[in-house]
Structure 1
Amino acid sequence: MAGKPKLHYTKGRGRMESVRWLLAAAGVEFEEEFIEKKEDLEKLWSDGSLLFQQVPMVEIDGMKMVQTRAILSYIAGKYNLYGKDLKERAWIDMYVEGTTDLMGMIMHLPLHSGDTKEKHLALIIERATNRYFPVYEKALKDHGHDYLVGNKLSWADIHLLEAILMTEECKPGILSAFPLLQAFKGRISNVPTIKKFLQPGSQRKPPPDDKYIANVRKIFNV
């Protein structure tokens, strides 16, 4: 019997958080080996574990997988969260890329300070309300289903919920103009595996604080 997937990353959200979300939603238990200092990263480099000398890295099914998109695609396909055919997969990919763009902006927010941070936050809110959330609101309205693609829980739904919660941390009440997304958030949050992941004590990570950001800068020399 194969062991649990093992996740190699810092003890925070970053690019690994979506992997945690997807595994948790699929009901898959996983282990984590945290990179807490520069030497931990150097060890992964020296033993050849990192194909492109980058993390996230996930040990799964005898592979040491890198590149976030490749990891997520593999997990979504393995656990039947990637649609029933190529057309559904294409829609899932498009929706996921949109939420990835939005979450990428949010991930960079703690790296800003002062006026620059305020401007970046304003841009996040503007893009969420005018570019990204209207797309998902319209999709739910047009097809009238509970889920984004194929009327079945998929990676796209899980990724969107993660993005919604991250955006609400930037601006509570940001969904006020999107009633279908509000209902979607409630539905997906109550999927049993996801509900469990959202409870205190799970492997979900908190928003990054100054101490975490400082340590990340030290580990990665940024």
Structure 2
Amino acid sequence: MSESKGKLELFTLPGKGRAEAIRMMLVFVDKKFTDTRLTIEQWKIKRQLSNYGNDQKLPMMLVNDKRVIFGATEISRFVALNFSLYGVSSSEQEEINKVIDDLEKINVALTPIIRATLTKSYEQRKELWNVFKVDTLFPPLTKYDERLANKMFLVGSRISWADIALIEMLTRFREIYDSFYLAHFDNLRVRLL
């Protein structure tokens, strides 16, 4: 059985996070899947019972009750490849990979802000966010905003993993950190309306 026609189960922590882009892709391609959200304690038990290593973290996807894929990027790549969201040529796939690499760098740079949020250091979070916006976030957003001035999609002539991942990240940042940060980016902002 083709993996695109098989059973998919996505395991994540409760709430929104980077796995949201995976959900968005699966919904976009109209692929039914089981969306299992586990607490950290439930994940520890499942990880032990399933003999996954202690270093394995959510999200995780179970494909046809056999194949296990860990990590938001790896799962997203699997979905993109199997559901025609990874471009129509190797050059488009390379462009998509560049966008995903940019977004990964942004997400990694967000770590201090997440820590400040978790420790309820809201003043520190505000300061970190303001530096992050200018130094890390705005340069790639400027590039993508300019790219989208004359075209509908980031890569190629149809929606791809890159578009969905960018929209998910922009939405998450708007909801969690700053509802006004996109004010300078007309072409990105209209995609979230």
For the criterion TM > 0.5, the same-fold answer is yes
Backbone CA RMSD of aligned residues: 2.5
Segments of structure 2 that go 5 or more residues without pairing to the other structure are none
Asked whether the equivalents of residues 9 and 16 of structure 1 are also in contact (C-alpha less than 8 Å), the reply is yes
Q: Measured at CA, do residues 182 and 114 of structure 1 come closer, stay the same or move farther in structure 2, by a change above 3 Å?
A: closer
Query: Structure 1 residue aligned with 2:159, among 143, 153, 156?
Result: 153
CA distance in 2, matches of 1:175, 1:40: 35
1:76 is displaced (CA, Å) by: 0.3
1:90 aligns with 2:128: no
SS in 2 for 1:175: helix
In structure 1, the residue corresponding to 2:15 is in which secondary structure? coil
CA distance in 1, matches of 2:69, 2:42: 20
Matched, 1:119 2:127: yes
1:21-53 alpha-carbon deviations (Å, 9 max, x no partner): 221222222212232242542332342245953
Aligned match of 1:11: 14
Seq. identity, %: 21
Q: Superposition pairs for residues 153-192 of structure 1, below 5 Å?
A: 153-169=159-175, 170-186=177-193
Tell me the secondary structure at the aligned position of residue 182 of structure 2. Answer: coil
Task: Name stretches of at least 5 consecutive residues in structure 1 with no aligned partner.
Answer: 187-222
TM-score (norm 1): 0.72
CA gap 1:50/1:13 in 2 versus in 1, 3 angstroms: farther
CA distance in structure 1 between the partners assigned to 2:16 and 2:48 by the alignment? 21
Aligned partners of 1:103 and 1:166 also within 8 Å: no
Distance apart, 1:105 and its partner CA: 4.2
Distance 2:92 2:59 in 1: 27
Taking structure 1 as reference, are residues 50 and 15 closer, same or farther at Cα in structure 2, changes over 3 Å only?
Answer: farther
Within 1, Cα distance between the matches of 2:157 and 2:54?
37
Matches within 5 A, 1:27-46: 27-46=30-49
Question: 1:104 deviation in Å?
Answer: 4.1
Residues 42 and 137 of structure 1: is their aligned pair in 2 closer, same or farther, counting only changes over 3 Å?
A: same
Kindly provide the CA deviation profile for residues 144-198 of structure 1, in whole angstroms up to 9, marking residues without a partner as x: 2211111211011111111221222222232222222223334xxxxxxxxxxxx
2:27 to 15, 24, 29: 24
Residues 43 and 165 from structure 1, CA distance in 2 versus in 1: closer, same or farther, beyond 3 angstroms?
closer
Whether the 8 Å CA contact 1:10–1:34 is kept in 2: the answer is yes
> Which one-letter code corresponds to 2:38 in the other structure?
I
Q: Distance in 2 between matches of 1:7 and 1:158?
A: 17
1:130 and 2:138 aligned: yes
Question: AA paired with 1:166?
Answer: R
